[in-house]
Chains A and B, each alone.
Chain A
Amino acid sequence: MSGTWMTTRAWLLMLPLLVIMVAVIGWPLVDTVRLSFTDAQLVGTAGNYVGFDNYTKMLTSSNFTRTLSTTTWFAVVSVAAEMVLGVLAALLLNQEFRGRAVLRGLMILPWALPTVVNATLWRLIYNPEYGALNAALTQLHLIDDYRSWLGEPGTALAALIVADCWKNFPLVALIALAALQAVPRDITAAALVDGAGPFNRFRFVMLPYLAGPLMVALVLRTIEAFKVFDIIWVMTRGGPANSTRSLSILVYQEAFSFQRAGSGASLALIVTLLVTVLAVAYATLVRKTAGSAT
């Protein structure tokens, strides 16, 4: 069989997938670019060409800069916490103890719980009057008065991050655990014989095995955290005083609540560009770590 035929056949086999992707993602993306240069409304007027007006308007608005920093803060803190907690949980699950298999099985539960259910659950837990968190903390005498967890700008974002972490750190833990179990036993044993302390064993024996998978998890989680919509929509809708409004929520507001499809599109593309830059930067980093780890 000739190489050309192989390649042609491969393309033919790829075709259905590629057609669907181009139709449902490629075309809308191009159309979003077109819309972003118009003043189109969601319902009604098709819109006129307005050049870069939408972009300059969005980029210079205080709403955008504030929302960008809120989103970044959410992404950085929640992903970092998920990584640290995930690795710690994986190190624990890599020990031998009774009930380990059960505990490992439990780890899949938060990950399998639908995001919206998770958000709803935590919203109930944080309820200022009848929520479990206030009740538990008061009964344990950790706080004197019930507090408004989702109503204070100081705690609302943190409360969201906790809810997000609870759902996602088990995933990191499971990935890290699989990587840890790939560390050959004799290497760990040798390191012990050499008198390496726990920290050094983690740094020099385990980390090289962990680095690759963790970087992948880091990239995926960061992209997701940057796009965050569901959990915030259900728990706070961006409040109080817009202190938890993410970029995706801002785009929704612009394009759908205010029905300004044009400026909504430009804002959406700005977000896309940010995520792409982030992803490319990470991908380069992944290649480097993968190179140095092996």
Chain B
Amino acid sequence: MERKNPVFTAFVYICALLLAAVILAPLAWLFVMSISPAADLAAKPLRWWPQAADFSRYVQLLSRAENSAGAAFTASLRNSLEVAGMATLAAVVLAVPAGWAVSRTPSVGWSLSMVIATYMLPPVALSVPLYMGLSWLGLLNNVFGLALIYLTILAPFTTWLMKSGFDSIPREIEAAAMIDGAGLFQTWRIITLPLAAPVVATSALFAVLLAWDEFFYALLFTSDQRAKTLTVAIADLAGGRVSDYGLIATAGVLAALPPVLIGLVMQRALISGLTSGGVKG
């Protein structure tokens, strides 16, 4: 076998190191920038490692003093959590019945295909009426309004994942419960949902990641601390008007932490979720 060939083994290790470097270098640099004094970041030649680590920017961004830059940042952090949380919860609640329906009654499946096809629509194609509609409802610059829109981004994905999950639960188990006199919702509660728990968790995580990442709608539909999300707050910082690159990097690190931690901890579930969508295509 080739694997025993030492030249090939060396080649594999070199490639692996290269790949690790490609993945890690930009991320490591983001972190280093966040703890480097401003002078180091403007030095020529560039100083790759700070003389003294400086964590003051983290304190600055996480402070809650009224009308400070930290208050603005923590408000956007809170908004992101609220919007992502609400949208995810609603997306899962909608996805369970819908996913089950399509799984058990494939004849209605075409409607799910339509729902998923909305993914193709560029957000700009909906933005003007949505803007006017939200304005009419008084939901502009409002976390509920934003969550409602995010729901339509997340729900197609969660429903699709839930459907794949339900597909792998044999109908016979449910049928047995029903024969024993359990109603539909009781059957779900006792049999189906416990069996589908991992899929529910996976789709919820996906939903959180998607909502956390959204930028375009948040840029248009939020304007201040009452609803502005992290992505918009960071884009504001990076808009060329903050001269302390370390502060921008710090905001980036803080915004990236939740999804990156979810990604690392839930790796296996996420990959299986990705591929169940992918392989079954």
Whether chain A touches chain B in the assembled complex (some CB pair under 8 Å): yes
Interface residues of A (CB under 8 A from B): 6-7, 9-11, 13-14, 16-18, 20-21, 24-25, 27-29, 31-32, 35, 42, 89, 92, 95-97, 99-100, 103-117, 119-125, 127, 129-130, 132, 135-136, 138-139, 166, 170-171, 174-175, 178-179, 182, 192, 198, 212-213, 215-217, 223, 226-227, 229-230, 233-234, 247-248, 251-252, 255-256, 261, 264-265, 268-269, 271-272, 275-276, 279, 286, 290
Q: Is the CB of B260 within 8 A of A113?
A: yes
- For the A-B complex, the count of residue pairs with Cβ-Cβ distances under 8 Å equals 281
User: Known contacts A28-B133, A268-B122; is A216 also within 8 Å of B281 by CB?
Assistant: yes
Partner of A35, one of B29, B30, B129, B248: B129
Among B55-63, B66-74, B193-201, B211-219, the one that faces the other chain is B211-219
- Chain A residue contacts of B128, Cβ below 8 A: 28, 31-32, 35, 42, 255, 261, 264-265, 268
- Chain B residue contacts of A42, Cβ below 8 A: 128, 131
- Write the nearest CB–CB distance from A119 to chain B, whole angstroms: 8
Partner of B98, one of A16, A95, A122: A16
Per-position binary interface string of chain B over residues 111-128, scored 1 when its CB falls under 8 Å from any chain A CB and 0 otherwise:
110010111111111111
Q: Is the CB of B255 within 8 A of A114?
A: yes
Q: Is the CB of B159 within 8 A of A123?
A: no
Partner of B279, one of A27, A100, A138, A179: A179
Per-position binary interface string of chain B over residues 250-281, scored 1 when its CB falls under 8 Å from any chain A CB and 0 otherwise:
00100110011011100100111011011101
Q: Could you list some 19 contacts between A and B, CB below 8 A?
A: A20-B152, A24-B148, A25-B126, A92-B19, A105-B264, A108-B267, A110-B27, A112-B259, A114-B230, A120-B238, A121-B29, A125-B26, A135-B45, A178-B272, A178-B275, A198-B2, A216-B281, A248-B122, A264-B128
Q: Is the CB of B102 within 8 A of A227?
A: no
User: Known contacts A109-B27, A290-B281; is A276 also within 8 Å of B126 by CB?
Assistant: no
User: Known contacts A24-B151, A24-B152, A109-B23; is A125 also within 8 Å of B126 by CB?
Assistant: no
- Write the nearest CB–CB distance from A207 to chain B, whole angstroms: 15
Which B residue's beta carbon lies closest to that of A172? B278
Docked Cα-Cα span, A44 to B104, in Å, equals: 50
Q: Is the CB of A132 within 8 A of B46?
A: yes
- Chain B residue contacts of A182, Cβ below 8 A: 279
Partner of B124, one of A170, A175, A252: A252
Per-position binary interface string of chain B over residues 150-172, scored 1 when its CB falls under 8 Å from any chain A CB and 0 otherwise:
01100110010000000000000
Q: Is the CB of B129 within 8 A of A27?
A: yes
Partner of A103, one of B20, B184, B270: B20
User: Known contacts A108-B263, A122-B26; is A178 also within 8 Å of B213 by CB?
Assistant: no
Q: Is B15's beta carbon under 8 Å from chain A? A: yes
Partner of B262, one of A16, A105, A112, A272: A112
Q: Is the CB of A272 within 8 A of B125?
A: yes
User: Known contacts A14-B108, A175-B274; is A103 also within 8 Å of B279 by CB?
Assistant: no
Per-position binary interface string of chain B over residues 221-243, scored 1 when its CB falls under 8 Å from any chain A CB and 0 otherwise:
00000000011001101100000
Q: Is B33's beta carbon under 8 Å from chain A? A: yes
SS class, residues of chain B in contact with chain A: helix
- Chain A residue contacts of B23, Cβ below 8 A: 106-107, 109-110, 170
Per-position binary interface string of chain B over residues 203-217, scored 1 when its CB falls under 8 Å from any chain A CB and 0 otherwise:
000000100110110
Which A residue's beta carbon lies closest to that of B115? A21
Q: Is the CB of A13 within 8 A of B129?
A: no
Docked Cα-Cα span, A25 to B45, in Å, equals: 52
Q: Is B95's beta carbon under 8 Å from chain A? A: yes
Q: Is the CB of A21 within 8 A of B155?
A: yes
- Write the nearest CB–CB distance from B27 to chain A, whole angstroms: 6
Which A residue's beta carbon lies closest to that of B275? A178
Q: Is the CB of B267 within 8 A of A105?
A: yes
Query: Closest 6 A-B residue pairs measured CB to CB?
Result: A112-B263, A135-B46, A10-B105, A31-B129, A28-B129, A178-B275
Instruction: List 10 other contacts, CB 8 Å, given A116-B238, A171-B274, A216-B278.
Output: A14-B97, A14-B108, A17-B97, A103-B16, A120-B234, A121-B30, A124-B248, A179-B279, A234-B238, A268-B124
Q: Is B182's beta carbon under 8 Å from chain A? A: no
Which A residue's beta carbon lies closest to that of B105? A10
Q: Is the CB of A7 within 8 A of B108?
A: yes
Docked Cα-Cα span, A230 to B214, in Å, equals: 9
Docked Cα-Cα span, A275 to B82, in Å, equals: 32
Q: Is the CB of A114 within 8 A of B16?
A: no
